[in-house]
Amino acid sequence: MSEYLRPVFGRTPTLGYVSSQVLLDAGVVNRCRRRVHLEHDPNMADVPKAPTDPAGAQRMADAQAHRRTVADRLARGLGAQWAEVPAGESAADRERVTLALLSAGAPYVWGGLLPADPLGGRRGGVELLVRSPYGGYVPLIVVRHKVSDPGSGARTSPLSLPYPGGARSDPLRKVRPQPRDQLRLAHATRLLQASGFAATGRATGGVIGMDADVVLWHDLDAPTWPNGRTALSEYDARFADRLAVARAARAGADPLARPSRIVECRTCPWWQTCESQLRDTRDVSLVVRGEDATALRGVGVSTVDKLAELDPRAEPPVPLVGMPFEDSVLLARAWLRGMNLVRRVERIDVPRADVEVDVDMESFGDSGAYLWGCWLSGADVDEGQGYRAFATWEPLPTEDEGRSFGEFWTWLTGIRVRARARGLSFRAYCYNELAENRWMLSSAERFAGQPGVPTVAEVKSFIRSGQWVDLFGIVRDQFLCANGKGLKTIAPAAGFHWRDPEAGGENSMRWYRDAVGLDGDEPQPDQRRRLLEYNEDDVMATWTLRGWMSSEGAHELPFAGDL
């Protein structure tokens, strides 16, 4: 038996997994209030819910694998100081083991489940508990996203010294804003305080990110949040609110949270339940979302019908932040008429050129961009028209990504040069340039000096030129879209449909794993072909959409000014 697993006497912890109690984990502070209600309403226990999205399940599996990899690395480095709570035990047993380790003063405790706090309504664990030299523990979490950016000023320590005392101001890193990380650390801090195991002094928590190169330390008592709030005070306010919602639901009291459509609804297992209620009441959030819906309800504009009755050119009854007031009224009128898409302008204007290239990039999370797909059309420049792809099928991250990006840029530059030499205009198009711009700039920086890879300055020059056109911006400015502005939503209006019934960015992540054998299996050539076909359809979609927007067909859509 490890010296840290010897029986500990004299302390009787409160083990908090009793069904009648409301005990919330750290994730609740980032969760929709209505979802919190539904999860704790006994009358909703048997209501059908949407199954877990395969892509979401894969992200969770990836995060778990990342945590295991980091744990193994830390365990090798820390040796006898390392103690781990068995993951396969019951919740009550994990709490008892964690308490024994903390009481024995184990320097590093991995996988601990902290004693529940029934009075505070909290439960949960944390990846690593780090003992302070002055007694007590600080929490450290392991996440599968970036936690820092190039810069300076972040407080970091090497993985070999994963405790706050080893932290120094980092000249190479600045903190990347990740509010959810700080809120998780605040939750663990409150649990440590409730159980009597929190370190003294300022509340501190650490994060090991996707790169797993350093520990980033957060001062949870620092006024780094809006209006001078701290991470702890922000957490306390959010948690108290969610706890009140959950307790009211459990008690059958008047709900403290009503359904309202927000971005989270797209992936929420309860959306079918909420959508039915929203449509029955014709709730205003079906047209405007988030803060705007709340603000409009506050002045009595609770339904789409009431919003549609307002004068779009009058002063709004309350300031809106999501969209102009006039647009919201016109969108409400379009929704009542069953119109998903209407023109905001009399004549649609799309920049066109003699030679055109549609571009779409496929990436795998933050690991890199593995595919640049292009569709060439227009005047002849001694290059076969249609689709071509520049890809790497080595699992990301890989230096071969630089090779594929360099080949893409060389080809694109060649088309531009030949068009200019023949006196032809040129434009390249994408849909929502943020992703393509990010990976073009990142690739130019990471693979500088490789064949065909441009400088960052060359990429910036191209992005800022009139030759790079974001069709998403044109759609946003010239159409009102009742069901969103995504390409998968807008392109069907132009008559385009993807060949794969499961086409989508989330699913493509799963296909990529199979295509390159990311999980240790043999790479699957059929999944590579599926990704190439999906990418080809994406660039064909923007080509089709642009042609339709330039035609009279698009002008057959209703004009918002006529509603």
Considering only CA atoms, which of 8, 19, 127 is closest in space to residue 66? 127
Asked if residue 330 belongs to a domain, the reply is yes
Type of residue numbered 392: T
Establish if 246 belongs to a structural domain: no
Tokens for 174? 């600045």
Q: Where a domain ends, among 222, 241, 260? A: 241
Give percent of the chain with pLDDT exceeding 90.
Answer: 75
* Per-residue exposure over 483-499, b if at least 16 CB sit within 10 Å of its own CB, e if not: eebebbebbbbbebebe
Q: Are residues 217 and 189 in the same domain?
A: yes
Please report, in angstroms and rounded to a whole number, the separation of the first and last CA atoms in the chain. Answer: 76
- 493 neighbors 549 (Cβ within 8 angstroms): no
Cis peptide before 133 (omega within 30 of 0): no
For the cut 50, the answer to whether the pLDDT of residue 1 exceeds it is no
The closest alpha carbon to 104, from 191, 22, 6, belongs to 6
Q: Are residues 514 and 551 in the same domain?
A: yes
Tokens 């009358």 correspond to: 43
* Residue 11 pLDDT exceeds 50: no
Cα–Cα dist 287/542, whole Å: 26
Query: Model pTM?
Result: 0.79
- By DSSP bridging, strand 369-378 and strand 137-142 are unpaired
Q: Are residues 154 and 185 in the same domain?
A: yes
Match 């599926």 to its residue by tokens.
530
Residue 482 has pLDDT above 80, yes or no: no
Under 8 Å between Cβ of 262 and 290: yes
**Average pLDDT estimate for 3-15:** 34
At residue 346, the pLDDT reads 87
Closest to 29 (Cα-Cα) out of 174, 214, 211, 179: 179
**CA angle (150 as vertex; 144, 152 as ends), nearest 5:** 115
Per the structure, the complete domain to which residue 298 belongs is given by 282-338
Look at the block and give the residue holding tokens 């919602």. Answer: 245
Q: Which residue reads 């440590």 in tokens?
A: 192
Residues 21 and 108 reside in one and the same domain: yes
pLDDT in tens, 267-324: 899 999 999 999 999 999 999 988 899 999 999 999 999 999 999 999 999 999 888 8
**Please, which pLDDT band fits residue 20 given cuts at 50, 70 and 90?**
low
Task: Return the bridge partners of 371, or none.
Answer: 362, 391
In this prediction, residue 221 has a pLDDT band, given cuts at 50, 70 and 90, of very high
Residue 447 lies in a domain: yes
Q: Which of 18-32, 236-250, 285-299 has the lowest mean pLDDT?
A: 18-32
* Angle between the N-to-C axes of helices 525-549 and 505-516, in degrees from 0 to 180, rounded to the nearest 10: 150
Q: Are residues 291 and 375 in the same domain?
A: no
Tell me which of 291, 311, 338 is where a domain ends: 338
Q: Which residues contact 83 (CB under 8 A, 6 or more apart)?
A: 2, 4, 5, 101, 106, 108, 109, 110
Residue 77 lies in a domain: yes
* Domains contained in the chain, number: 3
Return d(Cα 13, Cα 11) in angstroms, integer. Answer: 6
Of 371-375, 479-483, 494-498, 520-524, the poorest mean pLDDT is in 479-483
Q: Is residue 40 part of a domain?
A: no
Whether residue 429 is found in the same domain as residue 543: yes
Mean per-residue pLDDT, 346-366: 94
Is there a single domain that holds both residue 142 and residue 201?
yes
Q: Is 139 within a domain?
A: yes
Give the tokens for residue 388.
Answer: 């071509």
Last residue of a domain, one of 291, 310, 338: 338
